[in-house]
Amino acid sequence: MGRKTPPYKNYPQWTTARFFTFLRSALRQAWSRYPPKYEAQKAASVGKMRNKKTGRQAEHFECADCHNVFPQKETHVDHIVDAGTLRCYEDIQGFIERLFCSKYDLQVLCHDCHKTKTDSERKKKIASLKPENDGANQGDLFSV
């Protein structure tokens, strides 16, 4: 992964990149207990129905994209606006504000729709990182 970042000053055994990865994962863990996340889930709930795979009654949720319903295990609470990168101190404020957003900025997606969304965001990010890319290659970047 690219060039090595300098050591983190308060714990030089880690690179700065390692430290920010650690911080990002700790914040994401906190987000998993963030009340608006549960509220977004509740808003997408369609109530209990039979889980086709297990045969048991389970709460199901509507995917905001394909509008099919899925048991919780097969869904993901998605940030409509991605929380973005956290690589340096300057990123912290924006990252936290986007991560801990309002429940209206969250949506429930099924795994397939979530994967499609994150894949296309990744491709956009890669495309925006290449200054020589004038858009001429976007056809193959976005084709499925």
User: What six digits make up the tokens of 95?
Assistant: 């990252």
Q: Which is nearer to Zn ion, 58 or 96 (CB)?
A: 58
In the complex, the smallest distance separating the C-beta of residue 54 from Zn ion, rounded to whole angstroms, is: 20
Q: Is residue 134 a contact partner of residue 109, using CB atoms and an 8 Å limit? A: no
User: What six digits make up the tokens of 72?
Assistant: 């919780």
In the complex, the smallest distance separating the C-beta of residue 124 from Zn ion, rounded to whole angstroms, is: 20
In the complex, the smallest distance separating the C-beta of residue 45 from Zn ion, rounded to whole angstroms, is: 15
Measured between alpha carbons, how far is 29 from 13 in angstroms, rounded to an integer? 23
Q: Which is nearer to Zn ion, 30 or 46 (CB)?
A: 46
Q: Which is nearer to Zn ion, 30 or 66 (CB)?
A: 66
Phi, psi of 137 (to 5 degrees): -95, 0
Q: Which is nearer to Zn ion, 39 or 65 (CB)?
A: 65
Q: Which is nearer to Zn ion, 83 or 108 (CB)?
A: 108
A 10 A CB-CB count for 58 gives 15
Binding residues for Zn ion (CB under 5 A): 63, 65-66, 110, 113
Residues constituting the chain: 144
In the complex, the smallest distance separating the C-beta of residue 33 from Zn ion, rounded to whole angstroms, is: 24
In our burial notation (b when 16+ CB lie closer than 10 A, e otherwise), range 48-57 reads eeebeeeeee
Q: Is residue 117 a contact partner of residue 63, using CB atoms and an 8 Å limit? A: no
In the complex, the smallest distance separating the C-beta of residue 113 from Zn ion, rounded to whole angstroms, is: 3
